[in-house]
C-alpha cells in the first residue's frame, strides 16, 4: 500500500526507490511489532523481578524513527496526493495500534 501510494503518482529516482523499498520493509516490521505488543502487557518483569517497560515499545519507536527518516529522504511536493495518502496510512496504523492497547487495558491486561 505504501509502495503504490508513491510509485503510482510520482517518478522516483533510484535512490528514492531504494529508500521507499526500505521504508516498506520498516513499515512491515512496525506492523509485526505492533501485533506482538497487542498480545503482551506494557509492563513486564525484568531479570531480577523488577517491573519495567516492555522493550517492544522502544523497538517500535526506533522502527518508526527509521521509517520517518527514510520517507523524509523522498522528495514529495507539499501539495502532492502522496503526502495525504501517506499521512492517512500512518495515522490509521497509529490509531489501530492505540485502540489495541486501550482495549487490552480496559480488559484488565
One digit per residue, pLDDT tens: the chain, 109 residues? Answer: 889 888 888 889 999 999 999 999 999 999 999 999 999 999 999 999 999 999 999 999 999 999 999 998 988 765 555 556 566 666 666 767 777 777 766 666 5
Give domain status of residue 106, yes or no.
no
Domain carrying residue 52: 2-100
Give domain status of residue 88, yes or no.
yes
Give domain status of residue 107, yes or no.
no
How many domains, the chain? 1
- Give the C-alpha distances (Å, rounded to integers) separating 47 from 44, 50, 52, 60: 10, 7, 10, 21
Contact 29, 35 (CB under 8 A): no
Listed residue (62, 78, 81, 79) closest to 70, CA to CA: 62
- Dihedral over Cα of 4, 26, 55, 33: its sign: positive
pLDDT of residue 79: 55
Give domain status of residue 78, yes or no.
yes
Give domain status of residue 108, yes or no.
no
Amino acid at each position: 500500500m505504501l509502495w503504490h501510494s508513491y510509485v503510482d503518482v510520482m517518478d522516483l529516482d533510484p535512490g528514492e526507490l531504494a529508500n521507499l523499498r526500505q521504508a516498506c520493509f520498516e513499515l512491515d516490521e512496525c506492523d509485526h511489532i505492533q501485533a506482538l505488543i497487542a498480545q503482551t502487557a506494557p509492563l513486564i518483569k525484568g531479570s531480577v523481578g523488577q517491573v519495567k517497560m516492555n522493550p517492544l515499545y522502544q523497538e517500535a519507536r526506533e522502527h518508526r524513527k527509521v521509517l520517518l527518516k527514510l520517507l523524509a529522504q523522498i522528495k514529495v511536493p507539499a501539495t502532492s496526493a502522496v503526502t495525504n495518502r501517506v499521512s492517512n496510512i500512518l495515522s490509521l496504523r497509529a490509531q489501530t495500534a492505540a485502540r489495541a492497547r486501550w482495549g487490552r487495558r480496559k480488559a484488565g491486561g
